[in-house]
Structure 1
Amino acid sequence: MRSLAEQSYYELIEAPEDGTPQQIERAYRIARSAYEPSSAATYSLYSAEDCAAILHRIEEAYAVLSDSRLRREYDARLQNAGPATPKSVHSPRAEPPKPLQPVREARAERPERPRVSRSELDVENGIAPENGVFDGEVLRRIRVSLGIELEEISSITKINGQHLRSIEANLYEVLPAPVYLRGFLKQIAKCLSLDPARVADSYTDRMRESAARRT
C-alpha cells in the first residue's frame, strides 16, 4: 500500500478517476470531514499535525479535480508520468506536506490500545448510551474503546471506508438509501457485539429526526 503522500488525488479522496463533478464533490466532503479537527474518526491513527497535512493535500486535490481544465491536465500527467501536483495550485513559498506512513505502519509505532471487554462498556464510563440512542459518535466511541479500527470493520463487512466514516460522522445527507444503510448498520453492530436491530432502528430514527428539522 502506498503512503498517503504518494497517492493520486483520486486515491486520496477515494473518488473514481472517471467520476462526475458530483461524485468528486461528495468524495471531497467525506474525506475532509474525516480529518477536520472536529472529527474524532482518525484520532487514534494520526496526530493533529498529520491531519493538517492530509487536509492540505485534500484541499489541493479538490482544487484540481473540481476545475475541468486543471483536471484534464492532471489526468494527462497521471497517464504519462504517474501522480503529479499541478504547479498552479502551489504557492511558491509553500512547503509540501511531509510524507505520511500507511495506517498499519503508523499503528506499529504507537503503543497498542488495550482492548476493553463488553462488560466494561456501561453508562458509568460514558460509552454506552444511557438513553439507548445510537448515533455515529456513540458507535465510534464503542469501536475505539474496543480497540477496533475502521479498516478492520471494512475488511470484515466489505463496507466502503467512505460509508463507515460518514456513518460515524453523522453525515446523513451523503449516506446510501435507508434500505442499504440499515444493512450496513447491522453489520457494524455485529462487529461491536451490539444488538443489530436496535442499532439500525436507533440510528435511522435519528437520521429521520435530523431530516425533519431541516425541512
Structure 2
Amino acid sequence: MKALDEQDHYEVLEVQPGAGGEDIERAYRLTRAAYADGAMGLYSVFSNEDAAAIRGRIDEAYRVLADPGDRERYDAEVGIKRQEPITPMAAARDFTDASISDREEYEREARVAAAEVATAVEVIEDADADIDEENQSFDGAALRRSRMRRGVELDQISDVTKVMVKYLRYIEDEAFDRLPAEVYVRGFVSAYARAIGLDARRVANTYMERVEAARAPSKRTSRSASAY
C-alpha cells in the first residue's frame, strides 16, 4: 500500500481516472467521513495530527478533481490518461478481450461471492448450533459467521466504523497481502468486532496472531536480504 504522499489524487479518493463528477463527489464524502474526528476506524490508529493531515490531503484531491479545468491540468502534469467510465455493456464486451490477469481477478471475485453464499447457507443451517464465542479464537471465517449470524452486512459495519468495505472483506477472506500495516489492521479488526458486539481486544489479539504468522516468512526474507 502506497504512503499517502506517494498517492495521486485519484488514489487518495480511491476512484479510477475515468470517474465522473458524481463518482468523485461520492468518493470524497466516503473518504472524508472515514477520517472524520471520532470515526471508530481511527480509534488507536492515527494521532489527531495524522488524521488532520489525511483530511487535508483528501480535501486537496477533491478540490482539484472536482474542477474540470484543474483536473485536466493535473492529468497532463502527472501523465494520467483519462478514460471514459466503463458501462456494464462495455465491460461485458471487453471481457472476452481481457488479459489473463484480468480474467483471473474476475474469477476470484466470483469465487468470493460464491463462498459468501455458501457460508450464508451454512450459517442458516447451523443457526441453532451452540457456539461459544466468548472462548473462541477468531479467524476470518469465524468473524464472517458471527456477523452473518447477527444478520449484519459489511456495508452496515462500514457505515458505523467508517472502515471501507474492501478492507472488511479482506479481513474476512484473510487476504493478508491486501491489508495495510499491522497497526492499521488491528484497528480495523477491533472496530469490526466492536460493531457486531464482540470483545474487541480478544478478537484483535487472536486475529493478529494469524496475520503475524502469515507475514513472518516475508519479514524473515527481508531481514536476510538486508544482511548482505
* TM-score, with structure 1 as normaliser: 0.45
* TM-score, with structure 2 as normaliser: 0.43
